[in-house]
Amino acid sequence: MEDRKSVVRCFIEDMVSTGKTDQLSTVIADDYVDYYSNSSRRGPEVARTHIEAVRSTYPDLIVKVIEQYCDGDVVISTIRGTATHKGKWLNIEPTNKPIVIDGVNINRVVEGKIVSHSGFANTLEALLEIGALPGIGTS
C-alpha cells in the first residue's frame, strides 16, 4: 500500500513539480491512460505532453500531496498546486498573477507503475485569481 502511494507521490512531487520528465518510464506504465486526454495514445509520452503543457503556462508550478488514501491498486491523492500565470491558458494572455489550485488525483498503480489517471482540479478558483472572469472577483 505504501509503495503505491510512494509511486504516485514521486510522480507528482518529483516530476510534475520539477518538469523533470526524463524518468517518467520509471513510474508510468507503457499502457498508461490519462482520462483527461482526448488522445488514444498511451504511455509515458501522454504524461510528458500534459506536464509540458501545464508547465508552459505555469513554469514555476509546485504541486504537493496533502493526503493520500489507498484501496487495492487505487491511490487517491488530494493535492495543492501553486504557480504564477506566465503563459497563455484558455486563450487568456499571461497575467503574472499567482494561483492556487486544489485537486484530487485518482491513479491506479499496478506492478509499481501508474496505469491510469483521472481526477479533478479547481480551475475555477484559478480563473478567479487571475481576473479572467469579468465582473466576478474574490474578496
Pick the CATH number of 2-129 from 1.10.10.1800, 3.40.1440.60, 1.10.287.610, 3.10.450.50: 3.10.450.50
Q: How far does the chain reach from its first CA to its final CA, in angstroms?
A: 41
Predicted confidence at residue 126, as pLDDT, reads 85
Task: Tell which residue, 74, 63, 104, has the closest CA to residue 5.
Answer: 74
Mean pLDDT of the region 53-72: 96
Predicted confidence at residue 38, as pLDDT, reads 64
Q: Position of cell 500565470?
A: 85
User: Could you give the CA distance from residue 71 to residue 94 in angstroms, rounded to a whole number?
Assistant: 40
Please report which confidence band the pLDDT of residue 39 belongs to, taking 50, 70 and 90 as the band edges: low
pLDDT tens-digit map of 15-38: 999 999 999 999 999 999 988 766
**What burial class does residue 63 get, using C-beta atoms within 10 Å of its C-beta: 0-12 exposed, 13-18 middle, 19+ buried?**
buried
Please report which confidence band the pLDDT of residue 135 belongs to, taking 50, 70 and 90 as the band edges: low
Q: Position of cell 501553486?
A: 82
pTM over 0.85? The answer is yes
Cell numbers for 30, please give them: 507503457
Q: At 47, give phi and psi (nearest 5°).
A: -65, -40
Predicted confidence at residue 132, as pLDDT, reads 84
